[in-house]
Amino acid sequence: MITVGSGPGADVPDAPEGRTVRNPVLPGCHPDPTVCRVGDDYYLATSSFEYVPGIPLFHSRDLVHWRPIGHAVDRPEQLSLAGVRSSEGLYAPTLRHHDGTFYLTSTFVGPNGSGQVGNFVVTAQDPAGPWSEPVWWEDEGIDPALFFDDDGRAWATGTRESRSPQWDEQAEIWVREMDRTTLRLVGPEHVVWRGALLGAAWAEAPRLLKVEGWYHLLAAEGGTEHHHAVSVARSTRVTGPYAGNRANPVLTHRHLGRTHPVMGVGHADLVELPDRSWWAVVLGTRPYGGLYENLGRETFLVPVTWEDGWPVFAPGVGQVRLVERAPSLPAHPWPENPVRDTFAGGLGLAWNAVRGPAAAFAQAGPEGGLDVTLLPATLDGARPAAFVGRRQQHVDVDVTARLRFEPASADEWFGLVVRQSDDHHYLVVVAGAAMEGGPRRILVVRRHEGRRTVLLVVPAPDGAIELGLRVRGQEYEAVLVGEDGEDQHLVTLDGRMLDSTVADSFVGVWLGLYGTSNGMPSTTTAHVEWFEYAPVPPAA
């Protein structure tokens, strides 16, 4: 289950009365949300970039509580991410359901060595999987989506850089029919939108829906950072022409300044409830400790009404609130996940590897825990490395792992990692002796702007070791936990270099486990008895 997060910043004024939900509903790096309803069930997907398995799927019965159920891209033969760079990979999915089948479209940004790049569609009978092999579209650009009309015809949308731009970063949105049998695009292409405002950058994330006979085109524009926004246009024909809403942009926080607790709001998708009320999921960020967004772009829930045939986002307020009224659905929380993960049955759905499957190096131990075989690859490059991590979803959190690891050389490392990208991460690891006969060492290593620096070297105690991270805002304290349970301070790490803007990245932070032999051959295996992720409640 995803726990509703308590985030940085004060609550937005004028919090609603009655039953409420705390935004974001998917804290941590869950950007580009897409949602669809099937009966009383709601399903949601988000982008995942270089992390595997890719494109996580979630299930809810109340739009508030979400549990992970699977991934749309979960095997290399379906799509390989080997070789992609940081913040490449899988972008901007759209999830739809029609006539008993789930359809998911996405963009793969490479290269990955296989030549598979661009937009694709996969299908499944169950959103938990298995999902089909991708059908690749012969088109250009990013952010594909599907719309199924009342007559059963399927229409695809997407965006690309304008072929005849009138200004810098102008994009254009196209509509084209998809053959429901072959899942390939057919017929003529129709360019229907170039942005609501003069000079609008990157009209993207197009989604079509039909309400009371009108075709509505939702689009993001302004770029996915501070100036992000949601705009809408409509037409009586699916292929246009489309006229923009005179109220555009219909949702943005760019006019609220950089002190607002929620920024970069955009990339919306809509869903209708059984009582005919409407809600939107959007992405946004919650900077803290300054303009730093370590948690990445998160998924927020926003009420929507319709006036004069147009959607009104956050009516009466006009902004995303950290505390919002709950949808008119019975509350349906899922069982809480335990703080301590003993890896019974292997890695759960919260865990990701990078660029390649974790099964290549990590297996459930025969008597519990997780066995991780070191790989020569490091986290500094584009090769799959022996890394498994989970999203940082809370500003304040305690992370602890109990390890058994006997390195065969000074080149063999295993321990905790704080990963933002290939060029921005921290390691807190046990390493082999610097010289023959010497003790194991604990190393704290920083990689910043592509340069590795060893910040601390201390002798490691014998036997099992508990390493920890005590994260409080932008301070990431590395600790060694003693036999009495008391923390021994190692070093406090500056979290500001983990910000997505500093790292020129599209993702947030992952916290996890990592082992390497630093380019040397190795058969050494580390054993993880357990891993704890314990959110720290905010001070009263």
How do the pLDDT tens digits run along the chain, 540 residues long?
A: 443 333 454 454 566 777 999 999 999 999 999 999 999 999 999 999 999 999 999 999 999 999 999 999 999 999 999 999 999 999 999 999 999 999 999 999 987 666 778 999 999 999 999 999 999 998 889 999 999 999 999 999 999 999 999 999 999 999 999 999 999 999 999 999 999 999 989 999 999 999 999 999 999 999 989 999 999 999 999 999 999 999 999 999 999 999 999 999 999 999 999 999 999 999 999 999 999 999 999 999 999 999 999 999 999 999 999 999 999 999 999 999 899 999 998 999 999 999 999 999 999 999 999 999 999 999 998 889 999 999 999 999 999 999 999 999 999 999 999 999 999 999 999 999 998 888 999 999 999 999 999 999 999 999 999 999 999 999 999 999 998 889 999 999 999 999 999 999 999 999 999 999 999 999 999 999 999 999 998 775
* Residues of each domain in the chain carrying CATH 2.60.120.200: 340-535
Distance set, CA 504 to CA 27, 30, 225, 382, 498 (Å):
21, 17, 11, 16, 10
Distance set, CA 145 to CA 74, 103, 224, 270 (Å):
20, 9, 18, 13
Instruction: Give me the amino acid identity at 78.
Output: Q
Q: What is the pTM of this model?
A: 0.95
Among 430, 371, 386, CA closest to 519? 386
| DSSP 8-state assignment for residue 294 | T
> Can you give the pLDDT at residue 112?
67
Q: State the burial class of residue 344 (Cβ atoms within 10 Å of its Cβ: 0-12, 13-18, 19+).
A: exposed
First to last CA, the chain: 25
Residue reference for tokens 């720290």: 536
Rg of the chain (C-alpha set):
23
Residue reference for tokens 């620096």: 453
> Can you give the pLDDT at residue 86?
94
Distance CA 118, CA 141 (A): 7
Q: Which CATH superfamily is domain 20-325 in?
A: Glycosyl hydrolase domain; family 43 (2.115.10.20)
Distance CA 314, CA 312 (A): 7
* Residues of each domain in the chain carrying CATH 2.115.10.20: 20-325
Catalytic residue IDs: 32, 204
> Can you give the pLDDT at residue 9?
46
Ordered strands of the 154-161 beta sheet? 142-148, 154-161, 171-178, 185-193
The CATH number of 340-535 is which of 3.40.50.1820, 3.60.15.10, 3.40.50.300, 2.60.120.200?
2.60.120.200
> Can you give the pLDDT at residue 339?
97
